[in-house]
Chain A
Amino acid sequence: MISLMQTMRMALAALVRNKSRSLLTMLGVVIGVAAVIVTVAIGSGAKTSVANQINGLGSNLVVVLPGSVSTTGARTGLGGASTLTPQDGLAIAQLPGVSAVSPAVNLRTQLVANGQNWQTTVTGVAPSYAYVRSWDVASGRFFTQSETDEAAKVAVLGQTVVQQLFPSGGDPVGQTVIVKGVPFTVIGTLTPKGQSGAGQDQDDTVLIPYTSALQRITGGTTIGTLMVSAVDQAHIDPVQSEITALLEQRHQIVAGQPDDFSVRNLQDIAAAASATASILGLLLAAVAAVSLVVGGIGIMNIMLVSVTERTREIGLRVAVGARGAAILRQFLIEAVVLATGGGAIGVVLGIAGAAAIALLAHWPASVPPSAVALSLAFSAAVGVFFGYWPARKAAALDPIRALRFE
């Protein structure tokens, strides 16, 4: 009996004898698999980018907004009330499950520096803001707790602001920016964060200590929002209800009365967005899978032609002692090698294509290993499925007719 190894070698030899045809036959599967890989890469890139945007907002973020106020029947929108104070923030920081809290005081204002001016959002925050928003400094440093305590005139600039105010390049650290007439010393710049999920340029911002914002610019005592970081994802929900309970107590909200604040988390939005991305990816992959099946039909077609063309060869193999099973196996292996070979080439091309897209379109396309494994398995299955019929036809040939075949 002939070993599987030998059959494999013979199948390969037969394919090599017809190099150009073998390559052309593979082409269908090559294109199919490459398409699958690229689309899956784009799809998973979409998922990653959604996840990145959500994470970019901060780690396990819970946001506390002031509620609406209602005076003489007219209600303002959320945040219309000025009910949150830095002390609320300090109290929330004591809650179990909370890892950091930072207030955020937003001012829309004109900046002047370096002979340039620029309309932007100045946000007064605590040093913990860098942690809460998972935002690192690109150069210089973030301000410290003692600078916050003494309402120091220091600022950290977002990248868009850096580009607008210091277009000639060079490190703005040490320069002065004027915020509503108050000079602030630039002590650091932030790493670029890109657009937010809502399409906002998150880098168009300047961070200063919230104390400086309150005491030196707005003169108020209430803050816009409180950004709270839960220790991990599992703690987001409990933290949310703890904050609600705590603030209701601190703000002396009577049961039954509406809260003058609102606590939000971003997980639900994140889940919905990534589900959309998944469905998109799945659809693309399904379309690509159709092209793989078409590739498989191409293989079957060529294998049928090949069986007819090699009728004499098959007759000879039978005459020199090949069992029907050996013939079947050889042709089946030829089909599977064509399909998986095409699959392997397709994977390489697909990965290259995904890399090209990542490079040229700045899309975070990534190829999950599972997609590679699945594509290869699927193309092998295509080979078996579409190769079986031609192989059985070959094995069932009448050797006498096969030997006489012209």
Chain B
Amino acid sequence: MSAVVAVRDLRKVYPLEGGDDVVALRGVDLTIEDGEFLAVMGPSGSGKSTFMHIVGFLDRPTSGTYRFAGHEVSTLGKDELADLRSRALGFVFQAYNLLPRTTAVENVELPMIYAGVPAAQRRRAALEALDAVGLAKYAQHQPNQLSGGQQQRVAIARSIVNQPQLILADEPTGALDTASSEDVMALFRRLNEERGITVMLVTHEPDVAAHARRLVTFRDGNIVSDAPVVKDLVTA
């Protein structure tokens, strides 16, 4: 297995006016191998969100190294990062972030537009992705015609449509009821197992984290535990 994400001594400091800088990450080391399903937990302010943003090239570390699938991220420019995001990453957010008044299939097409995929191919791939999340017949529905769980599945379809190496999910079940949460997590699990997509999930719900196979816990800008998920322990 090769590493999708490899960070060494990652630090992130937010300078504040009037001294007292906020240190979000205090030297994090982590390697995520290809095909892993990783859950990141931790209380708010633990640095887990900052970590996810850095992994997703939305933020840059203050110091430390980050290699993504062999690329040294700090050497890449803004546009190269945008292109890499488009090719290799899929994002899923708590609030779905679907474009309003835009059909499901058009929402799923969005990442391919920025990747420069031709229209016909785009439509085909988007319908395939919707089919993969079980929403093939909702392709022409707009977000406000879909339930929360369905909207999040559209967002997941959008995240996989460019065949990414890594999906970053930020509290993907935070706005969903239990049944929908289960559906969404089962979907992540299936995408991970059947397609081999690496998934990194940030959550603060233990039963959601239990769907992953590896659990990393952050506290005060450090990783305080990193272990395989043992079902009985977490769900207990």
Binding site for B on A (CB under 8 A): 1-3, 6, 10, 13, 17, 312-313, 315-326, 399-400, 403
- For chain B, the bracket of interface size reads 20 to 34
Nearest Cβ in chain A — how far from B204, in angstroms?
A: 16
A–B pairs, 29, beta carbons within 8 Å: A2-B113, A2-B116, A17-B101, A312-B95, A312-B97, A313-B99, A316-B91, A316-B99, A316-B110, A318-B82, A319-B56, A319-B85, A320-B85, A320-B91, A320-B110, A321-B83, A321-B85, A321-B89, A321-B114, A321-B162, A322-B82, A323-B79, A323-B82, A323-B83, A325-B79, A326-B114, A400-B53, A403-B93, A403-B97
Which residues of A lie under 8 Å from residue B83 when comparing CB positions?
Answer: 1, 321, 323
B58 and A318 contacting across the interface, CB-CB below 8 Å: yes
User: Across chains A and B, which 8 residue pairs bring their CB atoms closest together, nearest first?
Assistant: A321-B86, A320-B111, A323-B82, A321-B114, A316-B97, A319-B91, A17-B101, A321-B85
Q: Quick check: is B78 within 8 A (CB to CB) of the other chain?
A: yes
Against A, the Cβ 8 Å flags (1 = close, 0 = not) of B75-95 are 000110011011101010101
Cα–Cα, bound, A187→B82 (Å): 87
Which residues of B lie under 8 Å from residue A315 when comparing CB positions?
Answer: 97
Cα–Cα, bound, A42→B47 (Å): 68
A320 and B158 contacting across the interface, CB-CB below 8 Å: yes
Which residues of A lie under 8 Å from residue B162 when comparing CB positions?
Answer: 321
Closest to B99 in A: A313
Which residues of B lie under 8 Å from residue A10 when comparing CB positions?
Answer: 113
Q: Quick check: is B18 within 8 A (CB to CB) of the other chain?
A: no
* Further pairs besides A1-B83, A323-B79: 12, Cβ < 8 Å: A2-B113, A313-B99, A319-B93, A320-B86, A321-B82, A321-B86, A321-B87, A321-B111, A323-B82, A323-B114, A399-B58, A400-B58
Which residues of A lie under 8 Å from residue B95 when comparing CB positions?
Answer: 312
Question: Which residues in chain B, 33-70, are within 8 Å of chain A measured between CB atoms?
Answer: 53, 56, 58-59
Q: Quick check: is B19 within 8 A (CB to CB) of the other chain?
A: no
Cα–Cα, bound, A312→B143 (Å): 15
Binding site for A on B (CB under 8 A): 53, 56, 58-59, 78-79, 82-83, 85-87, 89, 91, 93, 95, 97, 99-102, 110-111, 113-116, 158, 162
Closest to B49 in A: A400
Closest to B78 in A: A324
B79 and A317 contacting across the interface, CB-CB below 8 Å: no
B82 and A324 contacting across the interface, CB-CB below 8 Å: yes
Nearest Cβ in chain A — how far from B95, in angstroms?
A: 7
Nearest Cβ in chain A — how far from B155, in angstroms?
A: 9
Cα–Cα, bound, A162→B102 (Å): 71
Which residues of B lie under 8 Å from residue A324 when comparing CB positions?
Answer: 78-79, 82
Which residues of A lie under 8 Å from residue B102 when comparing CB positions?
Answer: 13, 17
Cα–Cα, bound, A290→B113 (Å): 39
Which residues of A lie under 8 Å from residue B91 when comparing CB positions?
Answer: 316, 319-320
Closest to A3 in B: B116
Nearest Cβ in chain B — how far from A18, in angstroms?
A: 9
A1 and B53 contacting across the interface, CB-CB below 8 Å: no
Which residues of A lie under 8 Å from residue B99 when comparing CB positions?
Answer: 17, 313, 316
B100 and A17 contacting across the interface, CB-CB below 8 Å: yes
A1 and B110 contacting across the interface, CB-CB below 8 Å: no
Cα–Cα, bound, A1→B83 (Å): 8
Cα–Cα, bound, A13→B99 (Å): 11
Which residues of A lie under 8 Å from residue B59 when comparing CB positions?
Answer: 400
Which residues of B lie under 8 Å from residue A312 when comparing CB positions?
Answer: 95, 97
Nearest Cβ in chain B — how far from A333, in angstroms?
A: 14
B58 and A319 contacting across the interface, CB-CB below 8 Å: yes
Cα–Cα, bound, A317→B99 (Å): 10
Cα–Cα, bound, A324→B99 (Å): 19
Cα–Cα, bound, A322→B79 (Å): 9
Which residues of A lie under 8 Å from residue B114 when comparing CB positions?
Answer: 2, 317, 320-323, 326
Tell me whether A321 and B115 are in contact in the complex, defined as CB-CB below 8 angstroms, given that A13-B102, A400-B53 are known contacts. yes
Closest to A16 in B: B101
**Residue from B53, B86, B114 whose CB has the most chain A CB atoms within 10 Å:** B114
Cα–Cα, bound, A312→B95 (Å): 10
